[in-house]
Structure 1
């Protein structure tokens, strides 16, 4: 059953919790899984005395009387975080109502250089638990999830992997059971939004192939190489196994059901990593992927022997205020997939993010974005013929659009609160129905334990 909470009380509570100013330039919004080892030097053994104490402000539970620092000095880092997203569908969609969903993630990272003398090696273990109700699934009825933390509402094994940095960290290898999207196709700037269409991967990647994002894990091998500081090349080979997405296999990583492998290649240019401090930061990614699995041909006919796609992702700061993180950034996304195998054939997204808003709110963000997912014309045509729609497939909605505005309060270094507004255009597109445009209001809360 959905949790019904008056929206005025929800938003008022968000604003009260966020009232304390944060002026530290080091405050950072928690986000989804990011690229492992990025920008870190090769790890070598160090005595416990060389480890700086963990600042109390970094996590809600602090340093546990110095225990966390001592464990880190011994090579064991503990991490845990919580995110909740409460939204009300106040107009349009299928019906009105309020829904709450949450995610708790916990894990350990073992620095094998300190533990066993394996320089540059890290072993990762992560568990993930999701609970709650989806506002998109149960109320609005749209394809682009209004809540990023909804999907697979159960506890599961999120990662068991071995990471190795080589060649002065220019080369990074990862082997094991983990999410492919940890390394490829992501846009960290997108997690200044709540809708999963923005945070943190285009849904056309995972919706049209065996591509999978956190918290879904598969067996794989990831390779990242930096020929120079501002350029990264990423590739790998990853298992395609739809059955590992079933709750019954949440702790059965060796379950059968593999249909093939997915082979990606991505090039990223990051001008912010150049030595010239006058260069404004940004990220430019171009990628392709090829899924060897056989899949049903959309709209009828024989199976396709493979699935594939291309993507272009870019974000760029265009205005910087001072020496800290304050500034204005733009972003854009485009993906393309063939009509024979892709439910979403084209994907377009664009937006703007302002970091540092009011005076003394250097870590707050204001974000505005729009995303459009184009529905495969083959599926629309086949449905129109089956349903006997005289006007043809052109009478059906061509795709779904989401517009989102979000304000991120960094209330503490370990706590962010994000009041959020989303407007969904043609929410019934992927169900072959005309549904009133929907308005959803809500709030996201993130905590680092």
Structure 2
């Protein structure tokens, strides 16, 4: 092992057990002997807490087997705003087992992947915060569930990639690399599909039976297309007792076909400028299912669609590791009669490698979501407070304390939650100040 890497890992060990003892609940603890053994091993798994398992991990990987385990934990406090002050813990452990069938069999086959998630804690964005979108991307109902089952096969010198199975389509569509620095769920899976599609759409921790095709005609251009079931859970669109519907299929083993078909299409262009690279995406989705009217829940509309555009661009490069990047993402639909959110915009700026720390980042993000005008007019006729725009702000810092440990303090502000909605007691929900601490450990 290189001396610099050894010093970094020993330094990280002292920080983790010393300064971060107050946050020990954020990560699953391992014995000192296991940690020391992982440090002593000279391998390609130095970014894993458990190393290469005495050489077995590298052996299995070379034979075609790979196991990835990641544990995320978060504490959130909301001292101001919402319907009441709250403190919440949420966590998720993700395990993914991959079989490289080409290595295992010697045949020209692809990769089979199976993953599952253990979700813990109490969701808090619906109540008491009453926001359009979750405060955290890992916030979900408390379940141990199957996540993805997929087979991936490449053709034509890897220019064509086909993936089929139970898929999380947010991996390939509507995503921004720069936005992944933030914790608010709207930066990872936009507010518009989250509120308008069945079960919040096929995004973590949900997956849906689908096929995804990627074609790369050149190094700069890629085209993605997907067709799948539009209802990952298979339940009705509205469920007052279970708003996210995840408890209708707590194990994640239901493969539903019957509500409608969800289709995605996205084109990507990469600007390979040495100094200022960027990625630009345009796309849209269509859904053949039936959706409730925003003014009358008894009425249903056939079909749905939305369009989006995304830009990730480096603005300045100060050194090999330190740079300033921005992203902008806009989503919109013209069908106000069947969608709660008609347009949303997210944007942010991220400084990578602040304070000369190559793997750290600090980011400032902003977002807005606009509800349907049909819904607002219906609320006025009912003498209710009409919903307006919701705005969210986020300031976050990713501290790569060790190669296998990420600590992320986070501050968010929600202005006009759900556009000025009232809580169950008829009181208007106040603007919210939200403080969080996130940890991520790779095993």
TM-score band by shorter chain is 0.7 to 0.9
Match of 2:118 in 1: 129
Match of 1:45 in 2: none
Residue 87 of structure 1, aligned match among 44, 59, 76: 76
State how 1:157-168 maps to structure 2 within 5 Å: 157-168=146-157
State how 1:239-258 maps to structure 2 within 5 Å: 239-241=229-231, 243-244=233-234, 246-251=246-251, 253-256=253-256, 258=258
Contact 1:162/1:176, CA 8 A, preserved across alignment: yes
Whole-angstrom CA distance in 2 between matches of 1:250 and 1:123? 23
Match of 1:16 in 2: 19
Match of 2:399 in 1: 409
Residue 181 of structure 1, aligned match among 128, 151, 170: 170
Quote the offset at 1:172 in angstroms.
Answer: 0.5
Greater CA deviation, 368-377 or 145-154? 145-154
Q: Secondary structure at the match of 1:184?
A: coil
Match of 1:442 in 2: 436
Quote the offset at 1:396 in angstroms.
Answer: 2.9
Contact 1:142/1:430, CA 8 A, preserved across alignment: no
1:304-346 per-residue CA deviation (whole Å, 9 max, x = no partner) reads: 110100011111111112223x200011111112201111101
Quote the offset at 1:254 in angstroms.
Answer: 4.4
Match of 2:376 in 1: 380
Query: What's the C-alpha RMSD, in Å, of the aligned pairs?
Result: 2.3
Higher RCO by CA contacts (8 Å cutoff, separation 6 or greater): 1
1:161-212 per-residue CA deviation (whole Å, 9 max, x = no partner) reads: 10001111111000111212122111232121111011x1212123212432
Q: Does 1:119 align with 2:108?
A: yes
Quote the offset at 1:352 in angstroms.
Answer: 0.3
Quote the offset at 1:443 in angstroms.
Answer: 0.7
Whole-angstrom CA distance in 2 between matches of 1:252 and 1:363? 35
Whole-angstrom CA distance in 2 between matches of 1:380 and 1:319? 42
1:97-139 per-residue CA deviation (whole Å, 9 max, x = no partner) reads: 2101001000111111111223351000000111102342343
Whole-angstrom CA distance in 2 between matches of 1:61 and 1:14? 16
Contact 1:89/1:96, CA 8 A, preserved across alignment: yes
Point out where structure 1 has 5 or more consecutive residues left out of the alignment: 1-11, 19-51, 390-394
Contact 2:366/2:391, CA 8 A, preserved across alignment: yes
Q: What TM-score, normalized by structure 2, do the two folds share?
A: 0.83
Whole-angstrom CA distance in 1 between matches of 2:62 and 2:418? 53
Match of 1:7 in 2: none
Residue 399 of structure 1, aligned match among 374, 382, 389: 389
Q: Secondary structure at the match of 2:186?
A: coil
Q: What TM-score, normalized by structure 1, do the two folds share?
A: 0.82
Contact 1:14/1:443, CA 8 A, preserved across alignment: no
Whole-angstrom CA distance in 2 between matches of 1:370 and 1:314? 15
Q: Secondary structure at the match of 2:433?
A: strand
Match of 2:413 in 1: 423
Match of 2:348 in 1: 351
Match of 2:96 in 1: 107
Match of 1:290 in 2: 286
1:272-305 per-residue CA deviation (whole Å, 9 max, x = no partner) reads: xx4x6x2423221111111011222221374211
Q: Secondary structure at the match of 2:217?
A: strand
Q: Does 1:151 align with 2:140?
A: yes
State how 1:324-335 maps to structure 2 within 5 Å: 324=321, 326-335=322-331
Point out where structure 2 has 5 or more consecutive residues left out of the alignment: 1-14, 22-40, 235-244
Quote the offset at 1:13 in angstroms.
Answer: 9.2
Q: Secondary structure at the match of 1:227?
A: coil
Residue 234 of structure 1, aligned match among 217, 224, 248: 224
